[in-house]
Amino acid sequence: MRIKITADSTCDLTPELVEQYGITIVPLTVNCAGESYKDGVDISPDELYARIEASGKLGSTAAVNVQEYLDIFGGILKEYDAIIHFTISSDMSSCYQNACLAAAELDNVYVIDSRNLSTGIALLVLDACEMAAEGTDPAEIASVLNSRKEKLDVSFLVSTLDYLRKGGRCTALAALGANLLKLHPCIFVKDGEMGVGKKYRGTMAHCLTSYVKDQLGDVSTVDTRRIFITDSGIDDGIRAAVEDAVRSLAPFQEVLHTRAGCTVSCHCGPGTLGILFYRK
């Protein structure tokens, strides 16, 4: 049975991983400065930052609509027997609902609500690819990953509160105070929604070291098969230091770096970095 794995652009996989695993990415729409673009197709995060800086207005994203899903799924089913599609959390976007509506008009399309974002989704996607390559039935893949998503540990450390302030998620006064005090909040995902955790103080490089130690915590509870280090644009030296810290704390078999796409980037701004992995 030929199974195609697809995912919304919110999964933040690199072009290399997309090609390696044969994944089809379905782009969300990015709205900025009065124009609309396809995430990762017509606009990159750095281009998004430039437009936000020039206009002074935050960008936004729009879900993939039902017809777009129908067109993509329908085209794939001409060559494949089944599709397993992953979406960003249904609490963050209507992508899941729209994909389900499209799937209801087709046969053998399994839509999974990741209850997550960014490479938290990607962890599920790569697992699905590996299971499909082993010949696992698509219904079983969907069942296993719907259970496995509950074990995801997803968080980011935010460099600046400016973008969260512009998006109405943080008051100007709070942003000013946090920036003056060099506070960097940890944003985590739980039960499909984002929350604010511990706030770190100091330089971003120093805070990231503490953040990695805190997030990995009791390493005996960590699934060390694979971890993503995902950032929204950060210094190479800081990224390398984070990988060194990760490898020193847990024997991960695979450490993958990715750059966050426009969905995460337009809400958190540049300089954000997260580690994303499974718990056992």
- The CATH number assigned to the domain holding 248 equals 3.30.1180.10
What digits encode the pLDDT tens for the residues 119-167? 999 999 999 999 999 999 999 999 999 999 999 999 999 886 666 555 4
Residues 178 and 130 in one domain: no
Q: Residue 228 burial by CB count (10 A; 0-12/13-18/19+): exposed, middle or buried?
A: buried
The model's confidence at residue 172, banded by pLDDT at 50, 70 and 90, is very low
**Domain stops at, among 80, 115, 149:** 149
One-letter identity of residue 88? I
Residues 220 and 156 in one domain: yes
Instruction: Give the separation between CA 156 and CA 188, rounded to whole angstroms.
Output: 6
Q: Residue 183 burial by CB count (10 A; 0-12/13-18/19+): exposed, middle or buried?
A: middle
R_g of the chain, CA atoms, integer Å = 19
Average pLDDT of span 74-99: 97
Q: What mean pLDDT value characterizes the chain?
A: 91
Residues 98 and 137 in one domain: yes
Residues 10 and 130 in one domain: yes
Residues 10 and 139 in one domain: yes
Instruction: Give the separation between CA 72 and CA 75, rounded to whole angstroms.
Output: 5
Q: pLDDT higher for 277 or 54?
A: 277
Residues 10 and 144 in one domain: yes
Residues 136 and 157 in one domain: no
**Domain stops at, among 149, 171, 189:** 149
91 in Cβ contact with 135 (< 8 Å): no
Residues 143 and 194 in one domain: no
Question: What's the structural domain count of the chain?
Answer: 2
- Ranked by mean pLDDT, the top range of 11-20, 31-40, 172-181 is 11-20
**Domain stops at, among 106, 128, 149:** 149
The model's confidence at residue 199, banded by pLDDT at 50, 70 and 90, is confident
How far is the first Cα of the chain from the last one, in angstroms, to the nearest whole number? 30
Of 79-83, 99-103, 162-166, 248-252, the one with minimum mean pLDDT is 162-166
Q: Residue 93 burial by CB count (10 A; 0-12/13-18/19+): exposed, middle or buried?
A: buried
- The CATH number assigned to the domain holding 19 equals 3.40.50.10170
Residue 183: per-residue pLDDT: 76
Residues 162 and 237 in one domain: yes
Residue 170: per-residue pLDDT: 42
Residues 46 and 106 in one domain: yes
Average pLDDT of span 192-204: 85
Residues 74 and 175 in one domain: no
Residues 80 and 69 in one domain: yes
Residue 181: domain span = 152-279
Residue 94: per-residue pLDDT: 97
Does this model's pTM top 0.85? My answer is yes
What digits encode the pLDDT tens for the residues 222-232? 999 999 999 99
What digits encode the pLDDT tens for the residues 50-60? 998 888 877 88
